[in-house]
Amino acid sequence: MNDPQTVERQIREILDSECDAFSLSDRLFSPGGLFNRLATTEAERRAVAASALFKEAQKRFSELKRNEAEKFSKAVEQSQHGAGGAPRLVKVEHV
C-alpha cells in the first residue's frame, strides 16, 4: 500500500484536472486505480468507500458522465437532421 496522503493528493489532482469520465473512472476506480491503493483488506475498502473523498470522486464521475451523455445526445440529434434526410449511423469510439 502506498502512502495514503500521497495517494489522496494524487486523487484530488485527478479530480481537479480530468475532464473525461472514462479516464477518471479508469485512473481512480479500476483494479489498478488509486482508490485500490488505499485499501488491501475488505474493512479498509469499506472505509475508503465511505470516505468523503470517495463520494466526491463518485459525484465528479457522475457529473462527467451526465455532461458527456448530453453532448452525445445533441450530436446524435444534429446528425439526424443532416442533408437529404437519409438515416445515419452513429459510431462511438474512445480515443
- Domain ranges in the chain? 4-82
Q: How many CB atoms sit inside 10 A of residue 62's CB?
A: 11
Output the pLDDT for position 73. 85
- Name which of 1, 2, 3, 7 is nearest 53 in CA terms: 7
- Consecutive 10-residue runs of the chain (95 residues): their mean pLDDT? 89 97 96 94 95 98 95 80 64 71
Task: Please state the three-class secondary structure of the chain as a single string.
Answer: CCCHHHHHHHHHHHHHHCCCHHHHHHHHHCCCCHHHHCCCCHHHHHHHHCCHHHHHHHHHHHHHHHHHHHHHHHHHHHHHCCHHHCCCCCCCCCC
CA distances from 3 to 34, 38, 39 (A): 11, 8, 11
Whole-model pTM?
A: 0.80
